[in-house]
């Protein structure tokens, strides 16, 4: 049975997250996936599905973790709020912890193994030309239950692609895993002519996982 966090645990986790975010809204780590090899493997073995099919935006995904280990995207690539309302369910982010076949790619598996069962509702994202996410924040509660690790794969930088955090255009080195402070307002837009590829990992926010990120930063702090 999963141990529930106490209020003290959550306060400590919040403090750890805030300490990490003080180093920057975008922190490069030493974790790495070869983008070209990974995407070649993805296209040879998997089929993309629509991301949030209610909205006809050029966004597609592949689940890395899901409810049952499947890759049909239901409901893990859907809007959980809307899906829960329509189906009278009560799914939460942490319910999506079962690894899918996408997670078996060796370099990706090595990263997932670093965080064990702290990885949930994670996916590969493809934004085709014109694809976007409007300005939003990922956390609205008083406690920060998770944080994002993001891997830019291909076509992820300006002028063709804009990933803006707190009003600033970000730059990414392909294949490296980054912490991104998505508690700040951010948006994504593909204004280029090629699909943009990303890995989005949702990691349980606790002191141990924050230390894991800080101990593996590209530039030690």
pTM over 0.85: yes
User: pLDDT tens-digit profile of 208-221?
Assistant: 999 999 999 998 76
Bridge-based pairing of strands 119-127 and 196-204 is antiparallel
Residue written as token pair 């991301």: 51
Residue 7's pLDDT is 67
Say if CB 88 and CB 162 are below 8 A apart: no
160-192 core/surface letters (b: 16 or more CB in 10 A; e: else):
ebbbbbeeeebebebbbbbbbbbbbebebbbeb
User: pLDDT tens-digit profile of 78-132?
Assistant: 999 999 999 999 999 999 999 999 999 999 999 999 999 999 999 999 999 999 9
CA distance 32 to 52: 28
For the residues of the chain, what is the DSSP string, one character each? Answer: -PPPPPHHHHHHHHHHHHHHHTT-SEEEEEEE--HHHHHHHHHHH---EESSTTS-SSEEEEESEESSS--S-TTTTS-HHHHHHHHT----GGG--EE-GGGGSHHHHHHHHHHGGGEEEEEEEEE-TT-EEEEE-S--SSS--EEEEEEEEES-STTTEEEEETTEE----TTEEEEE-TTS-EEEEE-SSS-EEEEEEEEE-SHHHHHHHHTTBSS--
Phi-psi region of 27 (alpha: psi -120 to 50; beta: other; left: phi over 0): beta
Average pLDDT over residues 149-165: 96
User: pLDDT tens-digit profile of 1-57?
Assistant: 455 667 677 778 888 999 899 999 999 999 999 999 999 999 999 999 999 988 889
Could you state, in order of their start, the residue ranges of all structural domains in the chain? 27-214
Q: Does 184 score more than 60 pLDDT?
A: yes
Say if CB 151 and CB 177 are below 8 A apart: yes
Residue 142's pLDDT is 62
Residue 170's pLDDT is 96
Architecture of domain 27-214: Sandwich (2.60)
Q: What strand order describes the sheet that includes 161-165?
A: 132-136, 186-190, 161-165, 168-169
Residue 221's pLDDT is 65
Average pLDDT over residues 157-165: 95
């Amino acid at each position: 049975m999963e141990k529930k966090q106490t209020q003290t645990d959550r306060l400590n986790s919040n403090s750890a997250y805030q300490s990490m975010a003080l180093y920057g809204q975008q922190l490069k780590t030493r974790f790495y996936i070869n983008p070209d090899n990974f995407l070649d493997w993805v296209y040879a073995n998997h089929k993309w599905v629509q991301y949030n099919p209610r909205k006809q935006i050029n966004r597609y995904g592949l689940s890395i973790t899901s409810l049952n280990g499947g890759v049909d995207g239901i409901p893990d690539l859907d809007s959980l709020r809307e899906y829960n309302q329509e189906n009278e369910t009560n799914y939460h982010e942490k319910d999506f912890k079962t690894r899918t076949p996408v997670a078996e790619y060796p370099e990706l598996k090595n990263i997932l193994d670093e965080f064990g069962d702290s990885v949930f509702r994670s996916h590969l994202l493809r934004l085709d030309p014109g694809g976007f996410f409007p300005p939003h924040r990922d956390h609205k509660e008083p406690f920060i239950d998770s944080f994002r690790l993001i891997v830019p794969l291909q076509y992820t930088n300006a002028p063709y692609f804009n990933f803006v955090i707190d009003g600033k255009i970000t730059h990414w080195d392909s294949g490296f895993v980054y912490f991104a402070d998505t508690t700040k307002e951010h948006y994504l837009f593909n204004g280029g002519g090629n699909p943009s590829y990303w890995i989005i990992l949702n990691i349980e926010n606790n002191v141990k996982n924050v230390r894991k990120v800080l101990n593996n930063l590209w530039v030690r702090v």
